[in-house]
Each structure stands twice: as structure tokens, then as C-alpha cells.
Amino acid sequence: MNGRHDGIVFGRSNRLGGGLAGLARKSERQRIAILAPRAVECVSVRGEFARIVPVHGGNVERKVIAAEKEYEGQCMDDRKPLRIALWLIVTSLLLGTLAGGFNRTLVEMPAWRQLGPEAWAAFSRLADLGNGKIIYPAAGIGGTVLTFAAAIAFRFSRSRPLWVAIPVYGAALMDICVLLLTTRAAPVMLSLQHGGTNPVLLQKAFEGFYRWDSIRAVFGTLGDCAAIWSLIAVSVVSVKCQDRAAKSG
């Protein structure tokens, strides 16, 4: 509002023009400027305009409190469906993480065992040692670097409750384990480049890679679950910090 009205203007972001008679802080989220006895009322609660109605005197502070209670009541009504939506989204993410993390261990490798090590080696030379030779290291190393960067950024925060620190640091720890296990699984895969077609050597490579990759899948899935937990926990702490800043501001 541009302050050309004779009356009472409510709002945190209003710029009041000439004729300002007084400015009094009536609540933690409002600025009230009294210009004249008759005007237009615009109640702003947490930056959202609740309603615009004509004013003919009365207790203006009571109107602001009523608008705030109405806003808080709506938030209380929305809390349950929002929580349900949140847990459904989290469940969907966890199911996707489990399916992706154990896909090779529980689905692909048992199928390759039935097809034989020769078929597995032929596929791996075209997949893992083809485009995967670039994509897998980039995604694995890049994800680990970002996880560590998030843990470092969290370390510099003054709000570090234990229930948030556990998943943040746990995700970083799981990524370290995945990298260490990759140093055991990757040489087995790389040996297929010069392994030839000897069935004995291919069977040995298959069993070795299956073993290390299965262990790696466990730590990778735990790391992904910890990352989801971290996302929720950090978001909750961030919202709480914003609420405290709004109350003290």
C-alpha cells in the first residue's frame, strides 16, 4: 500500500508516505502506523495478507491478534495431512532406495549366475567397462564429496542436535565404507578386460565381484537412507530456527 489513505494501515512490508503521526510496535510480526481515525485495514500475518475490510475505530491490536489466531488455527488444521503427505513421500523414497540399492545383488546377479559367467563377463565389458566406466566413478566420487561438504557445513552450524548429527555424519561414514569396498570390487571388474574366455577365471571373477558388491550394496543403501533422514532432520531444524528468528525479530 502506498500510504495515500487517511486511516490505519497494517503490514510488515508497507511503505508509509507523508503524514505519519506515530509508529508503535503492537506484535512481533506487525508494524502499526496510525494516520487518521477512518481508513482501510490490511492485516498481514507472517507476510500473508489475511483480509482487507473498512475500519471505523475499535481496538486495532485485537484485530491483529484475531487474524494471527485464525492463521495459526489453519496451520493446526493442516498439520495432520501435511505429516501424512511427508511420511508417504519418505516411504516412497525409502522404497526406491531399497529397490535401487539391492537391484544388482538380489535381481541381476542371481540371473547372471544361471546364465553363466561368460554371459555376465560379456555384458559387464559392454556396461560396467563401457559407459559405466565414466558414469559410476563420477556419480560415486561426486556423491561422496557432496555428502562430506554437507557434513562440514553442518559442523559450522550452531544448531547441531544429536538426532540431526547422527544421520548427517552417518551418511558421510557410509560413503567412506562404499569407497573402501569399491577398491575391492573394482579390480575384479577391471580384470575382465584381460580375462579372456577362461571359464574358471570368469567364474572366480564373478564370485569375487558378487561378494564385494553385495557388501557394498548394504552400506550404500544405509547411506542413502541416512541421507533421506538428514534431509528431513535438517529441514526441521531450519524451520525451527526461522520461527525463533521471527519471534525475536
Cell (9 digits) for 171? 551418511
User: Dihedral of the CA atoms 158, 161, 164, 170 (nearest 10)?
Assistant: 90
How confident is the model at residue 180, as a pLDDT?
A: 95
The secondary structure of 187-249 as a DSSP string is: HHHHGGGG-TT-HHHHHHHHHHHHHHHHHHHHHHHHHHHHHHHHHHHHHHHHHHHHHHHHHH-
Angle between helices 132-155 and 162-190 (to 10 degrees): 160
Is the pLDDT at 190 greater than 50, yes or no? Answer: yes
Is the pLDDT at 39 greater than 80, yes or no? Answer: no
Contacts of 161 (CB under 8 A, 6+ apart): 237
Beta strands in 29-125 (DSSP E): 32-34, 39-45, 48-55
How confident is the model at residue 47, as a pLDDT?
A: 44
Residues 216 and 178: their CA atoms lie apart, in Å, by 6
**What tens digit of pLDDT does each residue of 89-144 get?**
999 999 999 999 999 999 999 999 999 999 999 999 999 999 999 999 999 999 99
Q: pLDDT: is 4 or 149 the higher one?
A: 149
Q: pLDDT: is 211 or 41 the higher one?
A: 211
Write down the mean pLDDT value for the chain.
78
How confident is the model at residue 187, as a pLDDT?
A: 95
